[in-house]
Structure 1
């Protein structure tokens, strides 16, 4: 069965995470992805370890399945010629060079669309193609700091904290996918390609959602709240008798049911707790009561009781515990792949469950330059030409 993007060719000259994560998702959906890597060093994440498995870093393996790897010297004239030829038969270019880099090399969007007017180019940068910061490099950590995300992450009396994964990169990869799919739809109707200008900073600011909205409404600078919610109570971590769990009471009816589970239905009748807005104002009184009640049973006991009552809750799992969760297994979120050097390669699965065009794990994360020769041969280059490319450090 063909994927939803079967027949779409992506030339991916991005590296690290945001761009490769985006192109991997599109590859999962059936697109043909050619990953262009530096002819001497390759994607930086190949060296980001340990851990390594038979020379391949776990970091690289997490974002590069369903691709072919081709090395190419984009600073050489012959390398640019090969790149333009690839682009002329492709649909999408994904790139995350600093602003203006490809233009200086003569292979920016304006130049490339002369070879392929229907070309869609997704240009990922730290701060965007315009604005006073457009020429600055942007790494996920810097973006988490500058976007305000770190200022609202961490304990109230602690230091600002970054999120445990490179969340700005991941969000940017997802937003880039949305932009590319929208551009493909537009091209289907009009025949026009376009450039997508997308930045880590913009994506992270957009993801502040209700926290930014709160400030825009009341002008009060949001502060770190640890594991509490700025608008909903009770909605945080609590201690059971044997560890921590999260309870997320999303509305007044849920709170009423929650109090019955706690065997304190009187709490839902008290005026200061009856409605969420009042619970928010009086949380300093309510939270210690709930905390004390939850300490009377284990996490497993509360899980059963709260699930039966329809109260959103869950244990705080380690990564190992999460991967053993029966729900994760049932949803195929852990996938085994064959790999030429890595034994028992396991990767996280795709959250996209399409009924007619399911995602597929067709290709292992490629070895460095694994498909250079075959791609060039498919473009019409002869074996002796490919040998000369290697001798002249074109590939």
Structure 2
């Protein structure tokens, strides 16, 4: 029998699947995978129930339900004072991951380079490799902020794309004004360079408000933003997000999207269009800030060192004063002996850089967070 030659020989089961499976096996509290465990807004579920009996179960338009596209344009104008054309500059995607995949497949060519800032989400590299392009992984600083000197020294005429993630998963850090100034300078130096801005946690920021690619007019013609209804409204299983890009880039992305999924769940799109009329999106930040503050208060009684959490629903901590184990071994021991599943940060780094940091998801009900903290106090 001929052996199939893998296109992705180094890809194994993701750390998220590994830790979730271990949590199930050892009956541990799962603070590893980034999904909430509390109920949806009852208004959204009511909309969904009502719509289930309506004639909305056939294919949606390829780019998205017209009403939803218009609501996204309104949301973007309200949130960022950016006017976008719902017909030509917005694409509803089957989750942020599909949007990222379609973008890279559409815009990156063989042997071109794509900058990824580590630690990074694991869906960035694969579509680059499938383009026969070159992922260039650059470490963030130890405080998880961009190293602009290193980034500037690495980008060259063959660099097609830089992927930024703000607010940042796994660290919870967000970019400041100077970070965007440095990015704008790079685009002035390299006219071919594009920006893919992963902003799926854009509405979950705290004391320091999120600065978006949408706030930066200099970047609009060279950038693609990625958003996620799944993250914003804690409906991760719906797998629905959207892209915003100028028409000359969006036309190319749509060519891939139409042959990848063609269109996205019709019922979910109509439901979200109705929900956007009544939901108060700015209130989501205060909801998650209460979660963050509550969880940080609980962890204050443990031996962990809490790192800054400026956005997302993740809390990164250092366990350097607890153990000198590598972070993978430490997280596995946490599951087996303590009963709490987390994510080791080194798995987000191409070089395996290990600063003895792990990531907790605090998008859980209070009782779950209390039980987890009680277990973690045993360390």
TM-score (normalised: structure 2) = 0.27
The higher-RCO structure (CA 8 Å, 6+ apart) is: 2
Q: Which has the larger radius of gyration?
A: 1
